[in-house]
């Protein structure tokens, strides 16, 4: 979906999304087989980020080549190709792009490139004189005075507020799904406040 206020693309469909913990494993198989990783195809439990990296690699391949890296006439044929990790790279593709795709579409999840590697990869940073900056806002490791409005929204999502407050006060919980959801709500609230402030200063009524 295109955000007409910022002209930025925002991912909004999380119908098959799930939260994860670094010390736990998942075994859910959902979504399109063409984007599933080998470990999902083979029924091997996974943590989460590594299968997302594979799926992002499939999307990147589609964007660069205009076709799927693993396709076939049946799910069985597609699954067989994914399990082997064999795909065709056009000779016209740059060496940097080829390298990144190969690392993202590596069958062994332990050897698959991580997000930090993608961010710092030569292809991602090509034509930049310095590492590209992230659009993700910086988040504090600890939040001692959480916003009441954001906490109320979390309560509406069936989160236990004392648990949320306790997690926000601990730096070792900073990357957990619960804390991340709080930050997403808080960042959304702040953006709306800034937008309403700009509208108020310009003298135009807010739209919705």
Domain boundaries, the chain: 2-119, 148-202
pLDDT score of 199: 84
Give Dmax (Cα) for the chain.
61
Q: Place domain 2-119 in its CATH homologous superfamily.
A: Transferase(Phosphotransferase) domain 1 (1.10.510.10)
Q: Are strands 8-9 and 2-3 parallel, antiparallel or unpaired?
A: antiparallel
pLDDT score of 208: 46
Residues 37, 150: Cα–Cα separation, whole Å:
35
pLDDT score of 22: 78
Residues 49, 123: Cα–Cα separation, whole Å:
21
For 31-70, how does the pLDDT look when each residue is reduced to its tens digit (9 = 90+)? 788 988 999 888 888 888 899 999 999 999 999 999 999 9
Q: Report in angstroms the alpha-carbon separations of 128 from 26, 117, 123, 206.
A: 37, 16, 10, 38
The parts of the chain modelled with pLDDT lower than 50 are 208
């Amino acid at each position: 979906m295109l955000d007409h206020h910022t002209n930025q693309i925002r991912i909004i469909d999380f119908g098959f999304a799930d939260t994860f913990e670094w010390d736990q494993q998942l075994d859910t198989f959902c979504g399109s087989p063409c984007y599933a990783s080998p470990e999902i195809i083979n029924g091997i439990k996974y943590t989460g980020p590594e299968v997302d990296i594979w799926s992002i690699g499939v999307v990147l391949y589609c964007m660069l080549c205009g076709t799927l890296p693993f396709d076939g006439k049946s799910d069985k044929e597609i699954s067989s190709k994914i399990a082997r990790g064999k795909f065709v790279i056009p000779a016209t593709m740059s060496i940097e792009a080829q390298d990144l795709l190969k690392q993202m579409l590596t069958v062994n999840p332990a050897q698959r490139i991580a997000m930090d590697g993608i961010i710092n990869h030569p292809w991602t940073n090509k034509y930049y004189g310095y590492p590209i900056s992230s659009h993700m806002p910086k988040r504090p490791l600890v939040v001692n005075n959480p916003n009441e409005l954001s906490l109320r929204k979390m309560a509406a999502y069936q989160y236990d507020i004392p648990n949320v407050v306790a997690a926000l006060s601990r730096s070792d919980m900073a990357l957990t799904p619960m804390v991340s959801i709080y930050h997403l709500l808080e960042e959304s609230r702040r953006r709306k406040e800034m937008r309403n402030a700009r509208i108020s200063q310009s003298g135009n009524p807010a739209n919705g």
